[in-house]
Amino acid sequence: MIRWSNLFGPEMAAVRAGPPEQALLPRDGAGERWLAGVIAVLCFVACLAGLGALSAERAAGGWARELRGEATVQVRPGVGETGDAAAARAAETLAGVSGVEEAAAMDRATAERLLRPWMGDAALADLPLPHLVTVRLDPDTPASALVLGRALAEAGIDATVDDHSLWRGEVERSAGTVTLLALAAFLAVAAATGAAIVHAVRAGVEARRTVIETLTLSGATDGAVAWLFQRRFALLAFAGGAAGTGVALVLAGGVRFLGGGEGLSPALPLAWGDLLILSPTPLVAATVALVSARLTAGRALLRLGAPASAG
Amino acid sequence: MPRPRRPAADPAPTPETVRLTGVGFGYAERPDVLRDISLILPAGSFHFLTGASGSGKSTLLRLLTLSERPTEGQLILFGEDATAVTARDRPGFRRRMGVIFQDFRLLDHLSVFDNAALPLRLRGAKAADYRADVEEMLAWVGLGDRIGQRPTALSGGEKQRLAIARAVMSRPELILADEPTGSVDPAMADRLLKLFQSLNRQGTTVLIASHDEAMARRSGARLLRLNDGRLAPAPATAAA
C-alpha cells in the first residue's frame, strides 16, 4: 500500500509516540461508581442472607435430628405395682424392640434435678412426678411411636409414647420458613441488582448517544457496541460483587472466629467451609449484569439506530 | 512497515458507487426536505454538493450514511439496494464509507491517536499493525505533536483535520464530507482539498457538501446543486 506521505506530500510536523489504546466507552458516563457501590451493598446483603439461610437450615437440621433420635414414655403403674417397677418393666420391654438403641427408666432423683430450676426445692418434695422412660432410637432405622406403643401394650403396660413428632414438625416448619425467607431475600437482592443495572445501562446509552452514533457510523455493529456495555457493566458488577462479598466474608469469618467451635453462635452453627458458598457471588453479579446489559443495550441500540422514515 | 488492509470480505468496487432514483425524504412537519433526487456517483468520481443553508445537503448525506431512510425512491450503494437496509446489514455499508461530520463527532474521552484509529480498530485491526499508518496520517494533517492529547485541547481547525484523518484512515471506497473545510484557514483548506483529490486519484469516490462554491469550482470536481430540496442543473466546472 502507498504511504500517506507519498500520496500527499511531506509531513507537516514530527510525530510523538502514541499512547496505548483507550476504552471506546467513556468512563463513568452514568454514575458507574455509584452503581458499583450499590452492587457491593446488594451483594453484601445477599451474602448475609445466604449465610443466614444456611445457618438456620443447619441449626434446624441438628435440632430435628436430635428430636428424631429420642422418645419419652410415660408409664402408669398397674394395680399393686409401684411406679418405679412399672418404669423398669417398660424400659426392659422397649430395649428389646427393633429400632431402639437404649431404654432407661428415669428415677425420681433425675426427674427432680430436671425440674428443680423451674419448681424449686420446696415444691418438689410433695409433687407427684410421672414415671418416665427415656428411649434412644437407632438414628438410621428409628422405631416409630406406633411400634413402641404396641410393644408396651403387648407387655400389658399402660403407657403413653411421645416421639417428639409435634415439636419436631414445628422446628422443621420454622426452619423451612426461615430458609424460604432468606432465599426470597436473596432473590429480591438479585432482582434489585438487575434493576439497578438495567437503569444504569439505559442511562449510559442515553448519556453516550453521540459516542454510539459515531461508533456505528464508523462501522461498528450493534452487537459490538452492546458488547462494550456488557463488558463494562459485567466488570463493574464483578468488582462491586467482590467488594461486597469480601466484606461479608470478613464479617462472617470474624463472628465465626469469635464463636469458636460452634459457628456463628451455639444456636447458629456454621463451618469454615460454609463460607465458600459466598465465592460465586461476584460471578453471579457479573452474569446478572451481563444479561441485563445485553438486553437493555440491544433494545436501546435498536431504538437509537432505527433510521427515521416519517413522511 | 505493516499496513492496514481492507477486510477480505469487502467486495470489489462497482462501476457505480451511489445511485439515487426518485428519492424523497421528509418529516411529518416538513414532508419535502428532499424531492425527486436522482443522481449517480460513478466509482472514482469527485463531486461537490452545493446549495444554500437548509437546501437539504446534510439530509442527503444522512441518507447516504444510512442514518435516515428515504420516504420514497430507491437508494443503491456499492451496487446493492440500501433503501430499506436492516440494522444487521448497515455496518457492512458503512465500513466502505468514510464520513466527515460538520460537527466533527470526535470522541473526547479518546486521544487524538485513538480517534484517528477508530475505523481500523472497529474493523478488528491490531494496534501494532496500524500504529505507524495512523501516526503518519496525523503528522500529515499537522497533528503529529498532538497525538496523545484529547480533542478538547484542539482548536476548531485541528478538530476538523482530525475528523478528516479518521474518515480516510481506512481508505474507504466512498468519502462523504459535510463542510469539511468550514473551520480551517484557506491554506489548510487547499491542503485538505488536495488530500481528497489524492484519495480520489487512488479510486475513492468523493462527495463533499459545501456552501463554498468558489472552492468547489477550484477543485475541478463536478458540481451538484441542491435548491429547496431538489437537485438543480449545475454549470460545468473548469475541469469538467
Model confidence pLDDT, tens digit, residues A175-215: 778 778 877 887 887 788 778 777 777 777 777 778 888 88
Chain B environment of A19 (Cβ under 8 Å): 111, 113-114, 147-148
Read off the pLDDT of each residue in B120-131 and give the average, rounded to a whole number.
88
Residue B104's pLDDT is what?
87
Residue B16's pLDDT is what?
92
% of chain B at pLDDT higher than 90: 47
Q: Does A118 touch chain B (CB under 8 A)?
A: no
Phi, psi of B81 (to 5 degrees): -70, 120
Read off the pLDDT of each residue in A287-291 and give the average, rounded to a whole number.
86
Task: Mention every residue, 6+ apart, whose C-beta is less than 8 A from residue A273.
Answer: none
Q: Please, is A4 exposed, middle or buried when counting C-beta atoms within 10 Å of its C-beta (0-12, 13-18, 19+)?
A: buried
Domain range list for chain A: 29-61+178-303, 64-168
Q: Do A220 and B139 touch (CB under 8 A)?
A: no
Q: Does A214 touch chain B (CB under 8 A)?
A: yes
What's the DSSP call for residue A9? -
From A57, A19, A16, A20, select the one nearest A269 (Cα to Cα): A57
**Above 60 in pLDDT, residue A304?**
yes
- The DSSP H or E segment spanning A128 is none
Query: pLDDT class for A297, splitting at 50, 70, 90?
Result: confident
Say yes or no: ipTM exceeds 0.90: no
Query: Which residues 9-28 of A have a C-beta within 8 angstroms of B?
Result: 9, 11-27
Query: pLDDT class for A310, splitting at 50, 70, 90?
Result: very low
Q: Do A305 and B144 touch (CB under 8 A)?
A: no
Q: Do A218 and B94 touch (CB under 8 A)?
A: yes
**Above 80 in pLDDT, residue A168?**
no
Chain B environment of A8 (Cβ under 8 Å): 140, 194-195, 198
Q: Do B69 and A19 touch (CB under 8 A)?
A: no
Give the global pTM. 0.66
Options 3.30.70.100, 3.80.10.10, 3.40.430.10, 3.30.565.10; CATH for A64-168 is 3.30.70.100
What's the DSSP call for residue A280? T
Read off the pLDDT of each residue in A222-236 and give the average, rounded to a whole number.
87
pLDDT tens figures, A118-162: 777 777 777 778 888 999 888 788 888 889 889 989 988 898 888
3-state secondary structure A192-211: HHHHHHHHHHHHHHHHCHHH
What is the spatial distance between Cα A293 and Cα A289, in angstroms, rounded to a whole number? 6
Chain A environment of B99 (Cβ under 8 Å): 217-218
- Angle ∠(B11,B14,B16) on CA atoms, nearest 5: 145
Residue B239's pLDDT is what?
43
Q: Do A24 and B110 touch (CB under 8 A)?
A: yes
Read off the pLDDT of each residue in A32-56 and give the average, rounded to a whole number.
84
Read off the pLDDT of each residue in A276-287 and give the average, rounded to a whole number.
88
Hunting for cell 458488577 — which residue is that? Answer: A237
- Angle ∠(B127,B146,A26) on CA atoms, nearest 5: 60
| Side-chain half-sphere CA neighbours of A142 within 13 A | 18
Chain A environment of B143 (Cβ under 8 Å): 13
